[in-house]
Structure 1
Amino acid sequence: MAQTHRPADSYSPVYFLASLGAGGIAVTFFMFLMFWVPHKGQPVPIFEDIMAAWSTGSPWMQTGIAVALAGIALFAVLNIRSLIWNLSAYSAFKRTEAFTKLRASNAETTLLAMPLALAMTVNVGFILGLVFVPGLWGVVEYLFPLAMIAFGLIAVIAFRLIGDFLGRVLSQGGVFDVTAHNSFAQLTPAFALAMIAVGFSAPAAMSTNALTVGTALVISTVLGTIAILYTVLAATTAFASMLQHGTAREAGPTLMIVVPIVTVLGIMFVRQDHGLHTTFEGHTTAGETMVFLARLLAIQVAFLGLGAVVLRAQGYFSDFVMGPKTSPGSYALVCPFVAFSVLLHFFINKGLVAAHVIDKFGAGYWSLTAIAIAFQMVAIALVFRLNRQHFTRTQIAAVPAE
């Protein structure tokens, strides 16, 4: 009798990146509302702003709003559904021998994909509240402490997992396989901490309560600084291993993990700057912000190029994306495209437009925005393609008895 099977049945914590990628795409659609819909009186657009823009805006504005709301709703559903599936599968996975072996290997750091995905879903939940819940801004000051508690609990999970890993590999000699350190997979803990940090920085940008803003500034700074230190150390040692042993083929997409780390930390710095300006009278000029974001984009372009060169040389796309092979690590391809798109929106609007280098909604504006949307479309195509590869059941013919 024929049996059905799907690649995702061979579970790996890396599948949390499927939830992460969908959540990231929801954020890219929120960028449309963030920078196209007027929202005087608060730093982000809310339900009332969106409805006002819909009722008074041009057909182009209405089209943009409709696409943004549909995209946020669709990919938020995919994000939450994938997270629930992963948490269930992860719970079962923890009772297997494979989990025990994973905890004794370099791949133990893949467990950090879980708090990474959790933090993204909290961010997505906040976006859903902003755009779909009337009157939310009236009680938002009560929600900020709850959000920080949620991110705090996720941070505890992340630090416990990191502590287990570092405690094991740094207290005993020979348990970390340096020859298998030939990718940027070990940067997953840094990515998780950066995602939690950017979540903590949101109240710094949006709250008007000095205690809330100050708390958010300090905690996000601590988490962001640790994420930067971890990124530098892990990337340096990994690059040395890659020069000696080559890049691990299935982990090739991790070469671009620096791109989303840069985006979330960049947004954290922009949020912190806004909070320092509105609450503590710290001032940064639009020109300084433009140059800062340009530097971050330069880092991203460098690592996008590095990843593209190596993946092309290895034939990764032809085998694992467009071909018959599957690897959970393929979901790591989604994040760089999402991250570059999001940061480019910030550079265009918070940098070039704010510094009066280009006019908002002018020809130059839309030319650059088209690049951000193109990267967003690639991310969407990857999510649907990878979901079809990994979660579609195929029949396996049973071997006849001898």
Structure 2
Amino acid sequence: MAQTLSRPADRYNPLYFLASLGAGGLSVTFFMYLMFWIPHPGQPVPVFEDIARALSTGSIPMQASVIIALAGIAVFAAMNLTSLVWNLRALSAFKRTQAYEALTKTNAQSSLLAAPLAAAMSINGMFIVGLVFVPGLWSVVEYLFPLAMVAFLALGIWALRLIGDYLGRILSQTGAFDLKAHNSFAQMLPAFALSMIGVGLSAPAAMSTNQTVVGVALILSSFFAVAALLYAAIAGFTAMSAMLQHGTAKEAAPTLLILVPLMTVLGILFLRQNHGLHTQFDSHVTAGETMMMLGRMLAVQIAFLLLGLTVLKRLGYFRDFVFGRKASPGSYALVCPGVALSVMLHFFVNKGLVGTGVIDKFSTPYWALTALALLSQILMIALVLRLNRQHFRPVPQASALPAE
């Protein structure tokens, strides 16, 4: 017998785009340190100059948090882009195989939406990298917003075309959709992609001072938000019916947690829209209303976390696919909920509880709640590193020697 080296990722699946998505999300969790812990007067987000000032004049704990944040953003943004490029190349090669043709004739065709989802995350991530590492970027940011909207709109057209191909096939052909295999929330991936594009389009609404740019951003982001909600509602209700009849598909079980990142992305989108409506159109949302919106979304997240983790435990998913020998690209779907929960907790604590005066910033209750966000972040870092080793590290496999 001879030993050959292979790795699970050699059997390509579009769900590997979730590896890029998870790394990009982790870079956002580090940006939360800068967003809520250092002063950034004059603009709604911290920029290079704010960070430099914090490093030169801030306290030692603040300086340490800034250094950790910058290192985390740099490392995981690089990981995000590296994984995105690898996936795009692998997808291009995959499209020339019979396996791709087979995939486009099954329910799994919806997994192709992981590509625009990850690409949208990368654009969001690169904007963060520009803010924190490029001096003077804010002085030209108004010129960048239209370009960003064009880029996100292009991704939106890509996503809508993929959804159109998929829905056109299954809604026009009898028996093209396997209801029995619909026993997970995997079909909500297109909704997640639409929401990620929508949150990217909403960024100019929160940051631009040009009323036309804000108005266009509000309209475009609203379309993708509504489309995401409609798609999620239909896919979620039909999937729950299938799961009640057939149980949950084990390999797709992590998708039960997809509502967690969906709520975070839509929550940020609504916050950005509210800010744009306030600054440009004299529409006001109170701090109490913001707290309640974020609190309700957090409640949905906790409910589906409890549901999903219960089912995953019953199915032995972690034993087999995270800590065991089995490998499934769908395991990367476990990263997004932890990342999303961390980001949502930061927003709920700072925009909700601190914003209403329920707790004081940097008080003991503040750090106790923030610790939950940091714990979720640390666990997801460990999970990403574990999954990357599991899926991308070559492992020896026995192969028969040719007969002599």
Post-superposition CA distance 1:257-277 (Å, at most 9, x none): 010011000000000000011
Q: Secondary structure at the match of 2:5?
A: strand
Deviation at 1:53, TM superposition (A): 1.2
CA distance in 1 between counterparts of 2:26 and 2:74 reads: 11
49-58 or 191-200, which deviates more: 49-58
Residue 397 of structure 1 aligns to a residue whose secondary structure is strand
2:381 is the counterpart of 1:380? yes
Structure 2 counterpart of 1:52, one-letter code: R
Please give the residue correspondences for 1:39-78 in structure 2 after superposition, counting only pairs within 5 Å.
39-78=40-79
Q: What is the CA deviation profile of residues 43-92 of structure 1, one whole-angstrom value per residue up to 9, with x for unaligned ones?
A: 00000001111111100000100000000000000000000000000000
CA shift, 1:397, in A, is 2.5
C-alpha separation in 2, matches of 1:50 and 1:130 = 10
* 1:2-401 equivalences in 2 (<5 Å): 2-401=3-402
Find the aligned partners of 1:274 and 1:175 in 2 and give their Cα distance: 44
Distance 1:180 1:168 in 2: 17
Aligned residues: 402
Q: 1:362 is aligned with what amino acid?
A: S
- 1:299-326 residue CA offsets vs partner (Å, 9 max, x unmatched): 0001100110000000000110001100
Q: How far, CA to CA, are the matches of 1:74 and 1:329 in structure 2?
A: 23
1:400 to partner: Cα distance: 2.7
CA distance in 2, matches of 1:226, 1:379: 29
Name the CA distance, whole Å, in 1 between partners of 2:380 and 2:231: 26
Q: Deviations over 1:312-364 (max 9, x none)?
A: 00000011000110000000000000001101100000000010000000000
1:354 match: secondary structure: helix
Distance 1:174 1:156 in 2: 27
Amino acid at match of 1:373: L
State the SS of the aligned residue for 1:4.
Answer: strand
Amino acid at match of 1:81: T
Q: Distance in 1 between matches of 2:157 and 2:145?
A: 18
Write the deviation string for residues 247-288 of structure 1: whole angstroms up to 9, x where unpaired. 000000000001001100000000000001111111011011
TM-score (norm 1): 0.99
User: 1:398 Cα deviation (Å)?
Assistant: 2.2
The one-letter code matched in structure 2 to 1:219 is L
Percent of aligned pairs sharing the same letter: 63
User: Amino acid of the residue matched to residue 132 of structure 1?
Assistant: F
| 2:16 partner letter | Y
Q: Secondary structure at the match of 1:3?
A: strand
Q: CA deviation at 1:3?
A: 1.6
CA deviation map 1:196-244 (0-9, x unaligned): 0000000000000000000000000011001001001100000000000
Equivalent position SS for 2:176: coil
SS in 1 for 2:359: coil
SS in 2 for 1:396: strand
Gaps of 5+ in 2: none
Distance 2:216 2:200 in 1: 13
CA-to-partner distance for each residue in 1:25-58, whole Å, 9 max, x for gaps? 0000000000001001000000000111111110
In 1, Cα distance between equivalents of 2:54 and 2:401: 65
Between the aligned partners of 2:319 and 2:181, the Cα distance in structure 1 is 24
Distance 2:151 2:38 in 1: 29
SS of 1:249's equivalent?
coil
Alpha-carbon offset, residue 401 of structure 1: 3.2
In structure 1, distance between residues paired with 2:38 and 2:32: 10
CA distance in structure 1 between the partners assigned to 2:10 and 2:358 by the alignment: 51
Partner-residue secondary structure (3-state), 1:2 = strand
TM-score by length of structure 2 reads 0.99
